Amino acid sequence: MRRRASKKNKEIVLLPLIGAKQKKTFKTLAVVVALMSATIYINHRLVWIGKENANLAAKEYFVAGQTLNSYKAILTTFLHPELPIIVPLTKLQWKIYEKGVALLPKNEGEAGVWQNMWFHHHFGKKDRPYFGVKRNRPSPKMVKILDQYWFCLEAMTTKPFADKKMEEKYLEGFAGLAFSYTLKDGYYSGKYLGSAKKMAKLPEMVHRYRLLVQWLNELRAKWKDSASIAQTVQNNPKMEVLSQLTLLINLSDIILGEIHSHNFDCDLSSIHQYIKMRKEFYSPDNGSPVYKKIRNHKEREAIYHIAVNAVGARNTKYLIEHYCGYEVAGKMDMSFAIAFAKDKNITLEQQEELWRRASLREEIKIIEGESDVRK
């Protein structure tokens, strides 16, 4: 007579089987990851360690870091870069970075490209906020990150590249990093909220705005000089859009800085480039606006808001049109002014002017106290 196996005996038999299956799955996974890593590593070596490349001793470290970065790029498409699953990768990359850049010549822009690709691009590509950073509080963490951003921006634009492929990475990545820096640089003032006017009163920050405008103008010229990069920009319209937005914001900040240094003048190059850039953004002479090529509707709306409807954009338009008489392109959204204008029995334009004059009270007082402003 056959004995029926008890429930307890079944569990004893099944447990080793489950353990064996888990081991087999783990081994299979390990083999797959190892093969993938080897393939990625070899591909990066073929790209970065060849006859056309430079700084080959440092490139050994770059290839290792790029292999990790390939996994990180996949993970950060769905996950925040500061989550515990990604942090170990980042820490290892920092160690590789420190060892690798130590082998680069000091007068070399490559270190800025490495740092941007491995540590900053993953936040900027989806405009992810940093953990623990509040908009209404001082943030030493954000100041440190902004310093890192600036190091990369300055290194990529003021130092030469011995490796032309690395220079292409600068041409592809600079606008995105400059935009991220520009959106967050208000933390230098102590806290982000209400930082624009504080920053405009700091000569060292206005100097940085000027440098960013200069560097972006140079970048856009280099895009046109390279057929391959020009094609990349055409295939990725967001690159050009980010350059436009970053220029508009920094030019607006320069104009604000000129007012607070009592140098406001309608012949300022910053005013004329701002007008030109708004036209390029909103109604270019050739073809349709580049921002309209952005497929995501919400992203397209956010871009238009920054360029035309944000407080800084509205204020700059008002200052230029009211005090200089120049037209600034871009149709503003006036829908939120309807109720206010109706309550006061005034036009939407009159309501907008009331808001601008309230927002620019200090600046208007400075401008109207000047005798040499030319309209």
Give the torsion through C-alpha atoms of 81, 84, 88, 90, to 10 deg: 20
The larger pLDDT score, comparing residue 370 to residue 257, is at 257
Q: pLDDT tens digits, residue range 9-68?
A: 555 555 565 666 777 676 676 766 777 888 999 999 999 999 999 999 999 999 999 999
Tally of CB atoms within 10 A around 325: 10
| 3-class state of residue 14 by DSSP | helix
Q: How far apart are CA 253 and CA 258, in angstroms?
A: 9
Give the per-residue pLDDT at 37.
84
Look up the pTM and report it: 0.90
Cα separation values, 300 from 177, 237, 289, 295, 296, Å: 19, 11, 11, 7, 6
* Block residue for tokens 């405008």: 213
Helix axes 269-282, 311-324, angle to 10 degrees: 120
Nearest by Cα to 282 from 239, 321, 250, 313? 313
- Residues 300 and 280: their CA atoms lie apart, in Å, by 16
Closest CA to 182 of 282, 306, 362, 359: 306
- C-beta neighbour count of 76 within 10 angstroms: 21
The pLDDT value recorded for residue 15 is 54
**Greatest alpha-carbon span in the chain:** 114
- Helix, strand counts (H, E) of the chain: 17, 0
Average pLDDT over residues 290-299: 96
Of 70-79, 290-299, 366-375, the poorest mean pLDDT is in 366-375
8 Å CB contact between 192 and 133: no
- Would you state the torsion angle of the CA atoms of residues 30, 31, 36, 37, taken in this order, to the nearest 10 degrees? 60
**Minimum mean pLDDT range among 91-105, 125-139, 242-256, 313-327:** 125-139
pLDDT in tens, 172-202: 999 999 999 999 999 999 888 888 999 999 9
